[in-house]
Chain A
């Protein structure tokens, strides 16, 4: 995916969100650490620019301690910072991640979200949806692009910030 197409996709996702959430009064955007945050940052900024709403609640959620594969990995994962300075009670939550793959990250994020209250509704936005690789009955409400790839392939989203240019890369195997 090239930078121009990339910007277009982000804009489309933003407009889809605006269709459903209007002024974002009871809506909050939550990026899943670490890689969903870059996308959530971008979406959050674009939304404010397009709608002119001065403040849209925005949080970063780390789900490392909620993962179901702890102790099945070679090494424990490093946690990132959680920045949630609001409670999601009765709010509309939009979870944001870059790649929706097995669905396990999203499941962990939903478990972790319970600790911040009972949201009215939770939606999922993913830039890339690897629709044939799901382990759990989870599907995204807003999708940037669908990628049909084999199980062993690895999809990586690169961003202007912090690590390089905006692009989506598909590798035949996971790099080490």
Chain B
């Protein structure tokens, strides 16, 4: 049973949501998915709300997705990117955000390279904060759209086997996905090179595997993550070529399984590294559905947070 309203004022991470919150978000996103498939895709719900999209780190998908979600809800939007701002002149995060808020902004969507930045902000400001990714910590909206896409494919989560492949250590998508799927009752297994799997994972109830074929045989859904070279300060594996040989998923491997595994990827894809092109574009893949669902899920979150008194 889902709740009437979210239990929290901010979306800082999946960790802080209840299972009822998750179901409420999915059910609301169902309605918005219908809205964005209409000839006129706009509803006036957030017409009196101003949202600031503050991206202190690069992003294409998430930023466009949030912007579309806000526009489809008729919110006013201001965009901010760190590279073209006073952050370069040494302004602190709190000062930057407070300056924006004093121009009467109601909600802040923030991506920041420092884990915990949205938590810090939520203690000091009044506006609703939505975490659009904080360093290697959490990326809640991605996990929600991933789970929403899985729900569309499988119906529910109880007893379903979901595997996450790749760079788990540096991935905020992995951590948010783990929290989200565990709360919904799915079995979660991660698979990747031992150097890229954090040692505390079993404490979260997650199984660890190192064999891609066996993991694919086990799972219903494979969520394949990108190798985040930009966050790797030391070498975690000898070469990308070796990585793709041992941990990459190609069509041959998928076809040799005697079942259909759903392939997901949060993007951007490194074609030929974690997924070959023929897998990314195959009928197994729901990568583009994930992107479509992203807008509906973000509309649901904006709507539910704005509706809270």
Residues of chain A having any CB pair with chain B under 8 Å: 62, 64-67, 70-71, 73-76, 78-82, 87, 111-112, 114-116
Q: Which of A67, A82, A111, A114 contacts B34 (CB 8 A)?
A: A82
Spot the interface stretch: B37-45, B83-91, B247-255, B262-270: B37-45
Tally chain B residues at the interface, Cβ within 8 Å: 22
A78 / chain B contacts, CB cutoff of 8 Å: 4, 27-28
Q: Tell me whether B307 and A71 are in contact (CB under 8 A).
A: yes
Q: Is B304 in contact with chain A by the CB < 8 A criterion?
A: yes
Q: Which of A66, A76, A82 contacts B304 (CB 8 A)?
A: A76
Q: Is B31 in contact with chain A by the CB < 8 A criterion?
A: yes
Q: Which of A70, A80, A81, A82 contacts B307 (CB 8 A)?
A: A70
Q: Which 3 A-B pairs have the closest CB atoms?
A: A76-B307, A65-B43, A115-B40
B5 / chain A contacts, CB cutoff of 8 Å: 75-76
B40 / chain A contacts, CB cutoff of 8 Å: 114-116
User: Can you report 5 A-B residue pairs in the complex whose CB atoms are below 8 A from each other?
Assistant: A65-B44, A65-B303, A76-B4, A78-B28, A116-B39
Q: Tell me whether A74 and B309 are in contact (CB under 8 A).
A: yes
Q: Tell me whether B309 and A79 are in contact (CB under 8 A).
A: no
Is the contact region of chain B dominated by helix, strand, or loop, or is it mixed?
loop
Q: Tell me whether B43 and A66 are in contact (CB under 8 A).
A: yes
Q: Which residue of B lies closest to A115 (CB)?
A: B40
A73 / chain B contacts, CB cutoff of 8 Å: 307, 309
A82 / chain B contacts, CB cutoff of 8 Å: 31, 34-35
Q: Which residue of B lies closest to A63 (CB)?
A: B43
Supplied contacts A76-B4, A78-B4, 15 more A-B pairs, CB within 8 Å: A64-B31, A65-B35, A65-B43, A65-B44, A65-B303, A70-B45, A71-B48, A71-B306, A71-B307, A75-B5, A75-B308, A76-B304, A80-B31, A82-B31, A114-B40
Q: Tell me whether A75 and B307 are in contact (CB under 8 A).
A: yes
Q: Tell me whether B45 and A75 are in contact (CB under 8 A).
A: no
**How many cross-chain pairs have Cβ atoms below 8 Å apart between A and B?**
56
**Least CB distance, A76 to chain B, in whole angstroms:** 3
Q: Tell me whether B309 and A71 are in contact (CB under 8 A).
A: yes
CA distance A66 to B31 in the complex (A): 13
CA distance A65 to B75 in the complex (A): 13
B307 / chain A contacts, CB cutoff of 8 Å: 70-71, 73, 75-76
Q: Counting chain B CB atoms within 10 Å of each CB, which of A71, A73, A82 scores highest?
A: A71
Q: Tell me whether A115 and B309 are in contact (CB under 8 A).
A: no
B73 / chain A contacts, CB cutoff of 8 Å: 65
CA distance A13 to B304 in the complex (A): 38
CA distance A80 to B303 in the complex (A): 15
CA distance A25 to B39 in the complex (A): 23
Q: Tell me whether A111 and B44 are in contact (CB under 8 A).
A: yes
Q: Tell me whether B308 and A76 are in contact (CB under 8 A).
A: yes
CA distance A115 to B41 in the complex (A): 8
Q: Counting chain B CB atoms within 10 Å of each CB, which of A73, A74, A75, A82 scores highest?
A: A75
Restricting to B23-76, which residues have a CB under 8 Å from any CB of A?
A: 27-28, 31, 34-35, 38-40, 42-45, 48, 73
CA distance A66 to B5 in the complex (A): 18
A114 / chain B contacts, CB cutoff of 8 Å: 40
Q: Which residue of A lies closest to B307 (CB)?
A: A76
Q: Tell me whether B39 and A115 are in contact (CB under 8 A).
A: yes
A71 / chain B contacts, CB cutoff of 8 Å: 48, 306-307, 309
CA distance A82 to B307 in the complex (A): 20
Q: Which residue of A lies closest to B5 (CB)?
A: A75
**Least CB distance, B20 to chain A, in whole angstroms:** 13
**Least CB distance, A8 to chain B, in whole angstroms:** 36
**Least CB distance, A69 to chain B, in whole angstroms:** 11
Q: Which residue of A lies closest to B299 (CB)?
A: A65
Q: Which of A64, A70, A75, A79 contacts B4 (CB 8 A)?
A: A75
**Least CB distance, B42 to chain A, in whole angstroms:** 8
Q: Which of B34, B43, B44 contacts A81 (CB 8 A)?
A: B34
**Least CB distance, A109 to chain B, in whole angstroms:** 13
Q: Which residue of B lies closest to A64 (CB)?
A: B31
Q: Which residue of A lies closest to B305 (CB)?
A: A76
B31 / chain A contacts, CB cutoff of 8 Å: 62, 64-65, 79-82
